[in-house]
Copies of this chain bind each other. A is one copy, B any other.
């Protein structure tokens, strides 16, 4: 199919498709002649992926490009998925953290490269997760420290419950992404899945809060 049809089938204007092309999110079609290019099903899937990443997960073009470059660069599946993690967790190396605000207090009670007494240690041991350094690991430590600093501490029990749930889900996710027919679909599953789970949590939290409030003041507002 060519540009026009791709646009019609995807529901995305040719202008936007050209834009994605320019931005390197979508690979150029196979140039049949100098003025005609042919696109395939994978272009369609790619567009769906871009759309989902933008609209559902809320990523920016730059971030999407980071993921898709890895995917198109021939990186192994696991590495691409690691990139997805990094982006969704907003800890892209070159992106850096921009929002430090005025914090609440100093930095945090953890040293620099201190290997002992990291906030996440307990979970890792409890779940018997490999205790090796990773982006996710340091992100976890940072998050726990951050929450501590903001006055929203996390109890070991809660951390336990969270991590148990995550352990289960991670297994399923691995299976889902392994089953995914192509890399694009694996990315979609991974990114959308992560986002959806955190949204789900938010909704459950809200419901739990409402329930507690009702119980405590029985009859209050939702």
Binding site for B on A (CB under 8 A): 11, 48, 51-52, 55-56, 76, 78-79, 81-82, 85, 88-89, 99, 101-102, 120, 123-124, 127, 129-130, 132-137, 139-140, 143-144, 146-147, 150-152, 154-155, 157-159, 161-174, 176, 189, 192-194, 196-217, 220-222
Q: With A140-B204, A203-B143 in contact, is A127–B211 under 8 Å at CB?
A: yes
What chain B residues lie within 8 Å of A162 (beta carbons)? 161, 165, 200-201, 204
CB distance from A101 to the nearest CB of B (A): 5
Asked if residues B204 and A123 are in contact (CB atoms below 8 Å), the reply is: yes
Residues of B within 8 A of A210 (CB): 82, 85, 134, 136-137
Q: Do the beta carbons of B221 and A79 come within 8 Å of each other?
A: yes
Q: Is the CB of B164 within 8 A of A168?
A: no
Q: Collect the chain B residues with CB atoms within 8 Å of residue A81's CB.
A: 209, 213
B99–A56 touching, CB < 8 Å = yes
A-B contact pairs, 29 of them (CB 8 A): A55-B99, A78-B217, A79-B221, A81-B209, A82-B210, A89-B206, A120-B207, A123-B207, A129-B208, A130-B211, A134-B207, A134-B222, A136-B209, A143-B199, A143-B200, A147-B196, A158-B169, A161-B161, A162-B165, A162-B201, A163-B204, A163-B208, A166-B201, A167-B211, A173-B212, A174-B216, A194-B206, A197-B201, A197-B205
Q: Which of B137, B157, B165, B208 contacts A207 (CB 8 A)?
A: B137
Query: Contacts A85-B210, A169-B205 given: A198-B198 contact, CB under 8 Å?
Result: yes
Q: What CA separation (Å) do A136 and B208 show in the bound complex?
A: 9
Q: Which residues of B contact A221 (CB under 8 A)?
A: 76, 78-79, 82
Known: A162-B201, A193-B152, A222-B136. A208 touches B102 (CB 8 A): no
Chain B residues within 8 Å of A203, by CB: 89, 136, 139-140, 143
Q: Considering only CB atoms, which chain B residue lies closest to A139 in the complex?
A: B203
Residue numbers in B under 8 Å from A151 (CB-CB): 176, 189
Contact among B52, B193, B220 with A78 in the assembled complex (CB-CB below 8 Å): B220
